[in-house]
Amino acid sequence: MIPASTTIDHPLTLTAVVDRAEGIHARKEVVSCRPDGTLARTTMGQCAIRARRLAAALAGLGVGVGDRVATLLWNQAEHLEVFFAVPAMGAVLHALDPGLPANELVDVVADAGDRIIIVDESLLGAFAGFRRERCFEHVIVVGHGWPVRAGMLDYEAVIAAAHPMEWPVLDERQTAALSYSCRGDERPTGTSYSHRALMLHTLTVALADELRVSVHDTLLPVLPMFQANAFGAFGLPYAAALIGARLVLPGPRKDPVVLLNLLAAERVTASVGDPAAWVAVLAALDAVPRRWDLRGLDRLIVVGSMLNRSVFAGYGRHGLRISQAWGMTEPIAEAGIRR
């Protein structure tokens, strides 16, 4: 008898997600909303190839297995590239919340031991609040048309100068990512995620009876990728790459009108957000009910505290379905009307 381990034993690492994005779903579109409101378009394949270059560049800057790489980025294509590159090269991804107070960010990056940070140009102000308290070996800036400041590296130049990395073979139990949570006056508490944990989470999100996402969907994660390393975004960035769904990333512009414009113009079929986002979107819909064509929108998913029943009923009036999903202790609820 042939042992089962010789036929199906394969490490559960995020490298498999990146490989599928590059090889099977290379032509799937990734749309990013820039800070100025313009849209940038690329593909899963291009993100994966650029991730190989980014990984090689980071290795050239001294990043090795187990080293921490921090990010101050929005939901944008470059963040997806970092999500691909850092874990797949064996380093550890640490996505920072730019909304945290500077003193908490100082504690977080010190505890994590972040060596390098990748920052969006629009978040350099937030970075300045704690930069002097933490000496990063390198600061890489995702620019939007302005020259990169002295002492910092340009993201595009760093990628352009590197040759694509061949992904190493990794242990599925090694750390792939870190996240920190802050409760009241307590010091931030860190949690590490292994490749195995993140891969299992991604596979779970992709199940038919979980969010019903598939290769036919266009997904818009409203919740930020820095929230528990995309757990807060319900794992949609990795799940989209795994299953080949089209991905729309809203960047920093999350007011309800911008979200509704994206949902309508990009024909989004599923979107995940927090209660505050969907309450605001409903208010905008109520104010101008016929402004947006949302016939392609199949489901809105709320993650977090339980929404008031009136919100479910409100979306029902617009012919939209909103579902209450994962949230530790939150009940499962669903209301509204499927088109």
Percent of the chain with pLDDT over 70: 90
The CA distance from 267 to 261, in Å, is 10
What per-residue confidence (pLDDT) applies to 5? Answer: 56
Contacting residues for 279 by C-beta, under 8 A, at least 6 apart: 307, 311
Which run of H or E residues covers position 45? helix 44-60
pTM for the whole structure: 0.91
Torsion 127-132-136-138 (CA) sign = positive
Under-50 pLDDT residues of the chain: 1, 232, 328-339
Contacting residues for 206 by C-beta, under 8 A, at least 6 apart: 213, 239, 242, 243
What per-residue confidence (pLDDT) applies to 169? Answer: 96
> Three-state SS for 154?
strand
For 136-139, the CB contacts below 8 A with 24+ separation are 136/70, 137/61, 137/62, 138/61
What per-residue confidence (pLDDT) applies to 243? Answer: 96
What per-residue confidence (pLDDT) applies to 138? Answer: 97
Strands 321-324, 333-336: pairing kind? antiparallel
> Could you tell me the two tokens for 163?
């040759």
Q: What is the pLDDT of residues 259-271, one digit of tens each?
A: 999 999 999 999 9
